[in-house]
Chains A and B, each alone.
Chain A
Amino acid sequence: MSTSTSSVTPATGPSVYGAPNTKVPLPPVTAQRYHVVCRFCNVSCGYDVFVFPVGEEGGPAKGQNAIVYNYIDNVYGYNLQGHYADYTQPLAPLSANPPTAIPWIGEGMVSKTVTYDETTGTWRPVYILEIPSSECPVNEGNYSTRGGRNAQRIWSPFHDNAAGFRIYQTRIKTPLIRWSGQLQPVGWSYVIEVLAQILYYYITNETFTYPDPVGPAGVEVMAIRSDHGGGMGGGMVDDLMPGLLLHTGVATPFIRPHNRAAFSAETAAIFDVTGGGFINNLSMLDISITDVMVMVGANEYATATINLIQHIFDNLRGVTQKRKATWFESGEPTPPGKAIVVDARPSETAHAVAAAVGCSLEQAMNGTCNVDSNGEPQVLAVQVKPGTDAELFNAVAAYIYYTYPDVVNYFINNVYQGSAAKANGFTFNMNNYNLYIQYLQSKSLSEWLSEAEQITGVSQNIIQLLGDMLAKPKMGSNGQQYYKRVLIEFEKGLIWSANYTAMHALGDLAVIVGATSGRPGTGIARSFGHQEGAAFPVPPPPPWYQQLGLPLNQGRVTWIPMSQYVPQQLQKQGMEVNAQNVISFIKSFYQNYTNTLVPQSHQYNPIVDYLVYSGYGKVLWAFTVNTYKQTMAGGKFVSTTNNRAQLLQECIENVLSLGVPSTSTSSINSSSPYYDVNSVSATIPNFPTPDQYAQAVISCLSGSNKTPGALFVVGSDVVLNQNGILETAAHVIIPNATSNGETYDLRWNGHDRRMRLVEPFMPPPGIAMPTVWVYAMIAYRIYQLLQSNGMGNSPQAQRIYQAFNPIWQSLTNNMKQNSQPLSLIPQFSENYFDYNWFAIYSDIWTYYLANGPANFSWWPYGIAVPLQFAPTSSTGWASVKLFYLMLARTIGVQLPILGATCSGAVCSPSELTKEGVMQACSQGGTITMYGLVNYFEPVLQSQFRVERITIDCNQAVTVGNTVLPLITRDVIYVTPDQVQSMFGYSYDDLKAAVVNTLNPFPMPYVGILAYASQQQSKYKYWVNNGRWNIIWQSGFVDFQVPEIYQRVPFAIIEMNAQDAQNEGLENGDIVMLYNDWGTLTGVVWISNTVAPGSLFVAMSFPTSPGANQLTTPTIDPVSDNPMYKWTWANITKVGTLPPEVKQQITFAPVQFNIPSSSSSSSS
C-alpha cells in the first residue's frame, strides 16, 4: 500500500483531506410528527415533519424509526397499510415512490434548531426533518428542488446550520419603527397603538360614505396584499386577516394582490366561457390518464414540477395504461399519453417532455417525435411569437372545424346538448357558438393557415399536426373510433401576455375539442404559480362608481365580459351582431387602448400602482409582498414609493430643514465662526411615544404639517432582508409567524384542488405572532378608540365588530392562561404559548370558511371563499370539523367538499388539541369525506366521479405518541339522484356550484398594446420573463440557503447562442439591459432555452430584482391584468466576471439529451 505523500497532489477546491462523513439523523419512534404541505409551488406536495431532541436519533431497522405510513390508495393503486421504513441497506433508486415507499432523507431535508418545551419551560436543541411523504397522492414521495430544501428555511440559532442561521438573522422578530436611520424594535403595544390611531383617523376623516351598512370608508388607505398562498406560503386564514381589517374594517376600495396591480381576475376569459370561477376544474387523476396533455405558457418543469415529473411523465411513459382502462370506455385504446407544449421559447419543459419519451427537442419541434400509426407525434413543441397565441388557437380551431366536423359536432350536439346534459339542465349558448363558427368560417382553411403562419411564426404543417393531435379520433382494435380526451393547462405565458383575448380563444378551442366535456381525462385549467387558499370579504367598489352610474352597494365590475358587452354595444349602435362586426369591434376596442393609453378596465377596477404614481393616498399597507421586485415597471414603483415614504419620514422626524441653509452661505467663507451655529445646535427629537408618533404621522399626512405626496407605509411580513419595500420605505413593520411551521393554515393545490391542514411544529422567532392575533388586536384597539370617542354605534364600529368579534371571542375562550398581558389590551396575552391555536383555528374554519358566505350576508359585497360549498349549515364544507383534516394528514380531501360523516369515539375529542384529537382516534371510529373530482362532469355526464377519503381509527397504527389512522382513498361514481341521500342537499344545489353552462365567443388576435408596443418599436430584444425552478417568488427564503445562493448569486440573463455571438458576448459577461422603464444589470448565460431575438430573465432573483426592472405598466383593458411578458430592451456590455467568481458558478447549457456513445473504457 503506497502511502508516499510527497508525490500526492491533493484535490483543489473545497476539499478537506479525509472528508468528514456526512450523515443525517433518522427520526426515533418518539419523535413528534406533523403533517404539512410544501412552502412553495402550486403542486403542494405532502411533507411529513419529525421533531426530536438532538441526541435521541432513531435507528434504521423497521420499527426503530418514525417513518411509518398507513394509507391505501385505490385510485393510483398502492397499499401502504402499516408500512414501516427500513433504512438498513442503502436505498434503491426511486425508493421513495410506492410501493417501496422509503424516502431518502437528504441534507436539504434536515434542520437543527431549538424549540420550546411548554412543560419544562425551556428551549432545547432539536432536529427537524421535513420529508416528502410517500403516502401523499400528490407527490408519492417525489419532490422538487424547492421542496426538497424545505427544512433549510427553518430558522435556527445554530451557526453550524448555515441556512437556518441566516434565515434566523433575516426574520423579522419584533415590531419595528423607522427612526434615526434605523429600524428600531418596539413592543406590540406600541405598534398596535400606532396603527390603530392612524387607521382610526382615516376611517373618521377624509372618508367617502357608502350606503349603509358600510358607511364612511377609509379611501385614503391602499393595500397590496397576498390574497392566497402568497409570500409566507399563506393560506385561507392568514390571508383572511388583512381582508377583514382592510376590506371591511377600513372598507377601502383600493386593494391589489401580491402579483398584479388591480384586484383583477387573472382568468376572466375562462370565467366567461364556463359561466363562473372554474379555473381549477380537473384532477391529477385526469392529468395522469388524459390522451393529450396540453401545456400552454406553462413551464411546468420549473413551475409545477411534480405535476410534470410524476403524473405527466407517468402518463407519457405508459405507467398509467391500466388506470386509463378503469375510466375509459370499454374497448377504448389506452396508449401512453401525448403532450403538446406551446410556448414562446424552448423551455425546460419542452426539452424534458421530449427527452422523457426518447426524443430530441428538434424532433419535438418538427413533429417527428415517435410518430404513431395515425401519423401523429407523441410530443409536439410549438414555439409561437410573443403574444400571438390567440391567432394560433383560432387557426387550429378552424383547421379542426374544417377537417373534423364530426368530432366538433359530437361534442356540441351529443355532449353539451346530449341526453345527459339536457336531463341535468345544462345550457349551451348556441347563439354565441354560432358567432364563433361564423368567425372560423370567415376565412378559408388555407387563408387561416397562411395568416397564422405569418403572425405566429408556427409553420402550417405544425398547426395542422396540432389540430390532428387534438381532434383526430383514436382507432380501437375493434374497428370503432373513440374521441380523444384532451386536457389543457395554461399559465403565465398566457395570463401575463395577451390574457383575455388569447385565453378566450383557447377556451373556445377547448370547447370544440371536448376539453370541457366532463369525461375522465379532460379539463381546462390554470397550472397556477403558488398554492391556493383564499378567503376575504370583497372590498367596496371605487367611490367614482356614482359618476359612472353604477351602484355603490352591489360589488364591483372586475372585468368586461365581452360576450355580453360587445353585442350590447353593437345593438346600441344599430349594428348587426355578426362575427365580422364583433371581431372588428373587439379589435378597435383594443386599438383604442393603445391610442389613449387609458385602459377602460381601470374605471371599474382601480389599478393601485396608477394611484401611487398619481400621488394619491395616505397609507399603503404591504402584507407579505415584495412589490419592489414583483410589480410592473418595478424600478419606477421603487422610486416613487421611496420618494413618497421619504417625504413622510423627513417630516415626522422633523429633519426637513437639516442641512438646508436658512441664510446666505457666503457668510461662512467671510465671517467668524465660519459655520452656522444654530444649524449645529439644532437637536433631533427623542424616540416618540406611540401617541406622539401617530400624531406626527397624521399631522404630516393631513394636518398642520401636511406634506403633499407623503405616504405612510406599513409592512407586515416574515423576512426583512432583500425586500426593498421593508428595508427602504416602510415606516412600521409587523413581524408575522409563518404558516409554514409556526401556525396553522389551510391550503389547496392546483391540478387537484386538494385541501390540507398545515400544522405548526415550532414557535415563531422573537415575538412574531400569527396574523390571527395581530390583526384582531389592531381591530380591537380601533374599536376601543371608536367607543371612547362616542362612536360605538357608528357604521365603522359595527363593521369592525361584525368582522372580528368571533375571533376576539375565540382568542378569549382559548387562552389557556394570561402570562403576558398585552399592556394596551390586558385581557389578551401577547405570549404565543398561552393560546390553544388549534381550537382557535377550528372556530375560524367553522365561522369564516365553512359557513363564510352565510355569516357574511350582512356585508353587501359578500365574502369570497373560492370553492366554498355549503348548501346548509351542516352540509358540504360545513359538515367537516377542522380536526377531520388534522387526521387526514397529507392526503386531505378534494374540493369542493361534498359531504362528510363521522361515527365513533373519534367524533368527540375531549379537547381540541392535537393530543386530544389523537387520543379520541385511538379509541376508534371512522370519518369519511367526499370531494369532487372534475367540475365539468356533474352536469354534462349521467354520473360523476367523487373522491371518498375514509379515515379509519379502528385500524390505526401508533408510533410513539403519534396515532396514524388508516386512510383509504377511492373514487366512486355518483348519479344526480343519489346526491340528496348521500349528501343531504339537492342536485340543483350542486349544479349551481359546478360548470352548468358553456359560452364560446369569437375572440381575435389584437396585437401588442400600448406602452409595450412602444418598447417593441424602440428596443431590440424581447425580454421574456418567468421563473427559475430553484428560485421561489421573490427569493425571500432562497438567498439564505448556501447552495441556492451559490447557484444564483446575482441576476442572470439567459441568451440564445446566436444572439450572443452576434453581440460578441460570452458566458460570464456583465451586461446592462435598458428601456424606457428601467435598467437591469446581470450576467450572461448562453442557454438553449431561449428563442433567437429574445432574452429570458427571471421575474426576481434572490439578491436582486429581475425582469420587472424593464416591464411596462401595460394593462389588458378588458380584464385589468398586467401584461408583464411584453417588454423589449437593448443590451450593452459593461464588464465581465472575475475568473475566480466565474469558476464558482455553472454556465453549462441545459441539455436533456445525450448523443449515445459507443465507446467505453474499463478500469
Chain B
Amino acid sequence: MCETCGCGDPELVPVEVQEGLLAANDHRAKHNREHFDVAGVLAINLMGSPGSGKTALLEATAQRFERSSLSALSGDLATERDAERLSAAGIESRAITTGSACHLDAELVHRGLDQLSWRESDFLFIENVGNLVCPAIYDLGQDANVVALAVTEGEDKPLKYPVMFHRADLVLLTKVDLLPALPNLNVTAIEDALARTMPEPHMIPVSAVNGEGVEEWTEWLKKRRLGVARRWAV
C-alpha cells in the first residue's frame, strides 16, 4: 500500500539498474577469452556478408600453415558445409548451426569449443554467420575482429554498416582478382569510407584465387599472436 497517504494504491518503486543488456554475454565472452589466453591461442572473429569469401579465405590461409596450427568454428543458420570445406582444407573444424539466430554469441562458441581440440592449435577462427549487422555487437571472447568485404559489395558498405566496421581491427578486401571486371570500382573510395568508420583503419586486399595478399594476412596473424603469447608469459 502507498505509505505516503494510505490511499490503497500500489506503491511505485523505482530501481536503478544501469547495466548493459548484453552483460550476461559479455561475462561468458570474458570466460572464453581467459581460455584462449591460457592456451596461447589467437582467436579471430571473422565476419562479413554471406558470400564475401570468408570460407575461401580460410582455405587459402590453410595452405600457409602447418595442418595442426589452425582450428575453426563455423556459424551458419543451416548445413555444415563450411565446416566440411575447412576440414577438407586441413583445418580442424566444427559447425555451429544457429537455426534462426542471425549471429553467434559467447555461449554458442563455448559449446562449440567443447567439440573441438582447439587448444592444440595456434589460431582459432570463429567464422561468424554471414551478416553485416548482428554479429558485430556480440563479444565472443576473440582477440580481434576481422571483416571480409568483397570488392563486389561496392564502395559504401562501411558507411552503410558503421557498427560492423568501427569494431573491426582489420578489413580484408576479398576477391581482388575480380577488379579488372569492375572498372567503375574505386578502391580509394573504400579506403576513404573505412577512415570514416574505423579509428585505426587497416585494410589488406586479398584473393583466395590467385593468392594475392594472403602472405600479408598471414604475417598479420603471426604478429598478432605474439601479443597473446606475451600476455600468457606475464
Q: Do A and B come from one complex?
A: no
A interface residues with partner B (beta carbon < 8 Å): none
